[in-house]
Amino acid sequence: MTTNSRDRALRERARAVIPGGMYGHESVALLPEDFPQFFSRGEGARIWDADGNEYVDYMCAFGPNLLGYRNPAVEEAASAQAALGDTLTGPSEAMVTLAEDLVSMISHAAWAMFCKNGSDATSMAMVLARAHSGRRKILVAQGAYHGASPWNTPNPKGTLPEDRAHILYFRYDDLDSLRDAFRQADGDVAGVFATPFRHEVFEDQFLPSAEFARGARQLCDDADALLIVDEVRAGFRLARDASWSLLGVEPDLTTWGKVLGNGYPISALLGCEKLRAAASSIYVTGSFWFSAVPMAAAVATLAVVRTSDYLERMIARAEEMRKGIAEQAAAHGFGIRQTGPAQMPQIFFADDPDMRIGYFWAAAAVRRGVYLHPYHNMFATSALTEADIAKTLAATDEAFAELKRAWANIPPQPNPAVLARIKAKALLSPR
Amino acid sequence: MTTNSRDRALRERARAVIPGGMYGHESVALLPEDFPQFFSRGEGARIWDADGNEYVDYMCAFGPNLLGYRNPAVEEAASAQAALGDTLTGPSEAMVTLAEDLVSMISHAAWAMFCKNGSDATSMAMVLARAHSGRRKILVAQGAYHGASPWNTPNPKGTLPEDRAHILYFRYDDLDSLRDAFRQADGDVAGVFATPFRHEVFEDQFLPSAEFARGARQLCDDADALLIVDEVRAGFRLARDASWSLLGVEPDLTTWGKVLGNGYPISALLGCEKLRAAASSIYVTGSFWFSAVPMAAAVATLAVVRTSDYLERMIARAEEMRKGIAEQAAAHGFGIRQTGPAQMPQIFFADDPDMRIGYFWAAAAVRRGVYLHPYHNMFATSALTEADIAKTLAATDEAFAELKRAWANIPPQPNPAVLARIKAKALLSPR
């Protein structure tokens, strides 16, 4: 039985001093009431909320938790660096080592620049693409998330048309649409952004065809434009190299974040040799961009990425979970769609236009100690154990059973903000 | 005698994998060769470079080191939180406590939002000002640094005219100029940015008149525009409240960073009650904005700010240093200008148009274990001891003596990038 009195009290206090009680992607404003807002602890694949309720966590802090919360190798490296210093008057050796490691691991990369937010890396990529070519247009897939800066935030409130004056949109995984955008830009394309696969909120996920990825590469080459793959969300969960290495495509720039330091705050822009001069011509910086501890943590994270079977283990556990949930859904008589790579799953119910069913099921799992998300893609960690999967599948099975009992009486989606997002997505939907 | 073989080797490695060998404000590209690029350790007011050379550090990581590197109270709070978790699937109680603490300490603030970079906070302030009023124009002092985003980076390479389409400029501490900018904006002003005092690179610093600060407040009130004071660089080094509290002026928004977590990565936007609705209407977020460790560090930092004499001690030591340097300069026959608050000093030499003299003197101090900066305002920390000041003044006295001996033979400023910056500043100079 979960309790939530401490979470309620914290929400009340937060409402007084934080606009709307919370903001950004970790706000629970679009989630059912059963989802806690505040957390107290993490270890491996588990998190504890402010009331001490324990969960197998399939959000992984919205990505960063690649190797397990408080992974011993990462914590040891971070602690050793912290004992010396973190934010100093100049960078540390760890910055050089980290850049060397990334350049050695990511095929297209000849250099690295570090920053803090994923948005820093994507904005730097945009500025760099323009600096390199002197051209203005940036092509972005319609509805794709590349950060929350004025040029790309999904909610344009407070931004101006000028912020997107030279952003053109195409349909993801649609080469004709991308070709049209190039034509529309009339020789003025600086760069094309793409995520490794389509992973948007309130949408089924899908992988692009190899034909699209290769075609995008070719269109960029033909127009002397840069291909920028935004790995912030998917990096190191599909491959140990850039994600499109699986499709035989080398980007010019990749943007990284989230997993890079296994939770320590660091993001990066990696680029190919021909962009080195442009990269040193732009002025970008931040107060904490040179801090040593997140870099030491990233060096340790990458060592695990290179030398362990973290990826194969993560995928095996995630596929076991996917298979189990598919079997349970069928056994209970529900149609579900599990989309995207198993290790970054999105689960939606058939015939669920206002998402009342998916919300009910996820909340039922949360009440049973398994933190699933009803509208955002989830994330697996390599720290998931057989016991975690067993606990997960026991909880989801009970959640399906509870759903079946409640089926006819589930009230309509009560959250107008959720309904608005669903409607907006239906209008935008790329497929 | 300082050594630098390890620094040289790291620079060589960095040149291969980091554009230009380093980027941003911690690059030594504009500094004399004696300045190390890489550091290994910090403790109190001291830093050690990659070769183990020790310095009394007057850059404080370009600000963040308010209470001393590895301040015990801050480190203890950060460690205790790190043992539980940092970047989790939701925020921790520390976020609420930190917002409460800031609201209780900063007179104008009714709420807080947290982010990572100073640039995040200033960009959020801009977006929020536009969201609140529906107006477009943002007034910024000519040449003032408010971050490195496309709308405000000091080097516009790779940015577009559209990024600044609705930014208008005025002369800092010049009410007529600000009034003109309001007239030019013709009723379309969303907000006015100002730093607490003028603290630009390659320039004498100066405090604004109280008349300017109060006049700016009045102009904003008359036009229903927001007054935004950017505390990222000066916050908590002038006052325990917002800096213009010393002038009797309450801003609508303040932006904070650097010192907030004494080196842990966190920044903040604070706002008044009337902006709460607009603040909850914008979408801004970042992967690490909700991480608990920097928030726990900030709670501990603010407790020291509230309950100790850190500010008075810092100012007393800084004034002792300023007085000593003034006496030494006079004794050695040099004219110098020490501008800005003593705890954020800028030191320039008279009759030094290409800065060869200032560069020589700062480098001579660096070689003697005192890290001074020749073109960027410096920062004092409350961890400065009497022994640090004694070491500093012994080194600066020797540096003056060395300068006097070398005087007639100092070669012209050899760095064309420095000369370009000096020239650009002469053209822009606000006074």
SS3 assignment, position A414: coil
Q: What is the dihedral of CA A179, A185, A187, A190, to 10 degrees?
A: -90
Q: How many domains is chain B built from?
A: 2
Are both B124 and B272 inside the same structural domain? Answer: yes
Contact list, A380 vs chain B (CB under 8 Å): none
User: What is the reported pLDDT for B424?
Assistant: 86
Q: What is the dihedral of CA B418, B424, B428, B429, to 10 degrees?
A: 30
The residue segments making up the domain with residue B107 are 72-307
Beta-carbon separation of A117 and B113 below 8 A: no
Are both B146 and B261 inside the same structural domain? Answer: yes
Do residues B316 and B389 make contact, with C-beta atoms less than 8 angstroms apart?
Answer: no
Q: How far apart are the first and last CA of chain A?
A: 41
Beta-carbon separation of A278 and B38 below 8 A: no
Write out residues 244-283 of A within 8 Å (CB-CB) of B: 257-258, 263-265, 267, 271, 276-283
- Alpha-carbon Rg for chain B, nearest whole angstrom, is 22
The answer to whether residue A392 scores a pLDDT higher than 60 is yes
Beta-carbon separation of A23 and B280 below 8 A: yes
Whole-complex ipTM = 0.97
CA of B211, closest CA in chain A: separation in Å? Answer: 31
The answer to whether residue B93 scores a pLDDT higher than 50 is yes
Q: Is B201 on the interface with A (CB under 8 A)?
A: no
Residue of A23, A89, A226 for testing the chain B interface, max B β-carbons within 10 Å? A89
Are both B164 and B37 inside the same structural domain? Answer: no
Q: Residue A340 and residue A208: Cα distance in Å, rounded?
A: 10
The answer to whether residue A429 scores a pLDDT higher than 60 is no
CATH at A373: 3.90.1150.10
Q: Which of A281-290, A388-397, B289-298, B422-431 has the lowest mean pLDDT?
A: B422-431
| B65 in any annotated domain | no
CA of B173, closest CA in chain A: separation in Å? Answer: 26
End of a domain among A307, A338, A370? A307
Q: Is A14 on the interface with B (CB under 8 A)?
A: yes
Q: Is B94 on the interface with A (CB under 8 A)?
A: no
| B78 in any annotated domain | yes
Q: How many CA atoms lie within 13 A of B271 on its CB side?
A: 24
**B244 falls in which pLDDT band (50, 70, 90)?**
very high
The answer to whether residue A110 scores a pLDDT higher than 70 is yes
Are both A301 and A340 inside the same structural domain? Answer: no
Distance of CA A413 to the CA centre of its chain: 26
Of all residues in chain A, what percent carry a pLDDT higher than 70?
Answer: 99
Q: Please tell me which of the candidates B69, B84, B95 has its beta carbon nearest to residue A41.
A: B84
| A65 in any annotated domain | no
User: What does the pLDDT average to over B427-431?
Assistant: 57
Q: Is B134 on the interface with A (CB under 8 A)?
A: no
pLDDT in tens, A224-236: 999 999 999 999 9
Q: Is B284 on the interface with A (CB under 8 A)?
A: yes
Q: Residue B244 and residue B269: Cα distance in Å, rounded?
A: 16
Are both A356 and A421 inside the same structural domain? Answer: yes
How high does pLDDT run on average in chain A? 97
Contact list, B271 vs chain A (CB under 8 Å): 19
Write out residues 305-364 of A within 8 Å (CB-CB) of B: none
Beta-carbon separation of A92 and B38 below 8 A: yes
Beta-carbon separation of B99 and A14 below 8 A: yes
Q: Residue A287: which residues within 8 A CB-CB, separation 6 or more?
A: A87, B61, B62, B63, B64, B117, B118, B232, B257, B258, B265, B267
| B352 in any annotated domain | yes
Are both B255 and B108 inside the same structural domain? Answer: yes
Contact list, A159 vs chain B (CB under 8 Å): 127, 130
Contact list, A294 vs chain B (CB under 8 Å): 265
Q: Please tell me which of the candidates B62, B96, B279 has its beta carbon nearest to residue A287.
A: B62
End of a domain among B255, B277, B307? B307
Are both A56 and A101 inside the same structural domain? Answer: no
User: Looking at chain A, which residue has its C-alpha nearest residue B117?
Assistant: A286
Q: Residue A266 and residue B291: Cα distance in Å, rounded?
A: 12
Are both A127 and A264 inside the same structural domain? Answer: yes
| A232 in any annotated domain | yes
CA of A123, closest CA in chain B: separation in Å? Answer: 8
Residue of B6, B22, B89 for testing the chain A interface, max A β-carbons within 10 Å? B89
Q: How many CA atoms lie within 13 A of A136 on its CB side?
A: 14
Beta-carbon separation of B14 and A89 below 8 A: no
| B66 in any annotated domain | no
The answer to whether residue B137 scores a pLDDT higher than 60 is yes
CA of B330, closest CA in chain A: separation in Å? Answer: 30
User: What is the reported pLDDT for A424?
Assistant: 86
Helix spans in A175-259 (H): 175-185, 210-223
Are both B134 and B237 inside the same structural domain? Answer: yes
pLDDT in tens, A23-81: 999 999 999 999 999 999 999 999 999 999 999 999 999 999 999 999 999 999 999 99
| B353 in any annotated domain | yes
- Going by DSSP bridges, is the β-strand pair A46-49/A54-57 parallel, antiparallel, or unpaired? antiparallel
CA of A211, closest CA in chain B: separation in Å? Answer: 31
Beta-carbon separation of B159 and A118 below 8 A: no
Q: Which of these, B129, B123, B124, B101, lies nearest to B113 by C-alpha position?
A: B124
Beta-carbon separation of A88 and B61 below 8 A: yes
Contact list, A10 vs chain B (CB under 8 Å): 93, 96
Write out residues 297-316 of B within 8 Å (CB-CB) of A: none
User: What does the pLDDT average to over B266-270?
Assistant: 98
Q: Which of these, B319, B141, B310, lies nearest to B239 by C-alpha position?
A: B310
pLDDT in tens, B165-203: 999 999 999 999 999 999 999 999 999 999 999 999 999
Of all residues in chain B, what percent carry a pLDDT higher than 70?
Answer: 99
Contact list, A28 vs chain B (CB under 8 Å): 90
SS (H, E, C) A69-110: ECCHHHHHHHHHHHCCCCCCCCCCHHHHHHHHHHHHHCCCCC
Q: Residue B200 and residue B62: Cα distance in Å, rounded?
A: 13
Contact list, A70 vs chain B (CB under 8 Å): 85
Beta-carbon separation of B40 and A14 below 8 A: no
Contact list, A19 vs chain B (CB under 8 Å): 111, 113, 271, 276-277, 279-280
User: What is the reported pLDDT for B2?
Assistant: 75
User: What is the reported pLDDT for B426?
Assistant: 76
Of all residues in chain B, what percent carry a pLDDT higher than 90?
Answer: 97
Beta-carbon separation of A112 and B160 below 8 A: no
Q: Residue B307 and residue B289: Cα distance in Å, rounded?
A: 27
Beta-carbon separation of B287 and A42 below 8 A: no
User: What does the pLDDT average to over B22-47?
Assistant: 97
Q: Please tell me which of the candidates B61, B279, B287 has its beta carbon nearest to residue A87.
A: B61
pLDDT in tens, A335-379: 999 999 999 999 999 999 999 999 999 999 999 999 999 999 999
How high does pLDDT run on average in chain B? 97
Do residues A80 and A296 make contact, with C-beta atoms less than 8 angstroms apart?
Answer: yes
Contact list, A23 vs chain B (CB under 8 Å): 113, 279-280, 283-285
Are both A127 and A248 inside the same structural domain? Answer: yes
**Cα dist from A181 to A128, A160, A185, A376, whole Å:** 20, 22, 6, 28
Are both A29 and A131 inside the same structural domain? Answer: no
Distance of CA B253 to the CA centre of its chain: 18
CATH at A165: 3.40.640.10
Which DSSP category does A245 fall into?
G
Q: Please tell me which of the candidates A22, A131, A257 has its beta carbon nearest to residue B157.
A: A131
Structure tokens given for B429: 């100079």
End of a domain among A276, A307, A338? A307
**Residue A412, Cβ density class (10 Å: 0-12 exposed, 13-18 middle, ≥19 buried):** exposed
Q: Residue B95 and residue B102: Cα distance in Å, rounded?
A: 11
| B393 in any annotated domain | yes
Contact list, B41 vs chain A (CB under 8 Å): 84-85, 88
User: What is the reported pLDDT for A425?
Assistant: 81
CA of A366, closest CA in chain B: separation in Å? Answer: 13
**Contact pairs from chain A to chain B, CB under 8 Å:** 340
CA of B331, closest CA in chain A: separation in Å? Answer: 31
Are both B186 and B84 inside the same structural domain? Answer: yes
